[in-house]
Amino acid sequence: MLMIAGLFGMFFLGVLYLQRVLGFGALETGLAFLPVAVLIATLSLGVSARLTTRFGARATLLPGLTLIVAGLALFGRAPVDGSYASDVLPVMVLIGVGASLSFPSMTTLAMSGATPSDSGLASGLINTSLQVGGAVGLAVLATLATARTDALLAAGEAPASALTGGYHLAFLMAAGIVAASVALALVVLGSRSPHAAGQEAPADEPAAVQPAYSERRRPPG
């Protein structure tokens, strides 16, 4: 929920930044976000699965979330007179790579404890959590951006500068939300022992056979 809360707000407010500050048209804005979609579609199918198989879902999820945080923080520094190549494209690359690593790993971890009879329920719970996180995150970030923009306009800032200031606050807050998901993942996933299930206790085996041995050594009668 935290990851999606930060990402959904970025997509919505990023579109507004491109159109209302940089002056992009609708088609240009769509093409500007194309690297994110291409990276997610490309890396999620092959690279992410291989990394998860080799290093584990936790080891793949945490770097992915970190890349998303870096991309959002970088977007929080986009200037009023920014250019796509230097101020927006690096953000799209970081978020695209981070999301392509995070989504499959998160789904793998979320479904790993579900039994076959509960897999449908678990999958539905994941999708519901994503939708709720996206809706709440977008509402909070949009409200913060609007409040900040209004305050800057009241202070005499130019409209473009005031809008950018509002978007900066929202992007940095989004980075903080995803950073909180990194901390939560470290705490929750770090408490799991990958060898806890199915671990044998050889020290208990002698105790298990001791009664039978004692019975054989006990004198008759």
- Tens digits of residue pLDDT in 115-163: 888 888 888 888 898 899 999 999 999 999 999 999 999 999 999 999 9
Give the domain 2-109+134-189 fold: Growth Hormone; Chain: A; (1.20.1250)
Inter-axis angle of helices 89-112 and 2-16, nearest 10: 160
Which pLDDT does position 149 carry in this prediction? 96
Length of the chain, please?
221
pTM of the model: 0.81
Token pair 């690593």: residue: 101
Per-residue pLDDT for 218 more than 70? no
Q: What is the dihedral of CA 205, 206, 211, 215, to 10 degrees?
A: 130
Helix extents (H) in 113-158: 119-154
Q: Which one, of 33, 28, 40, lies nearest residue 14 by Cα?
A: 33
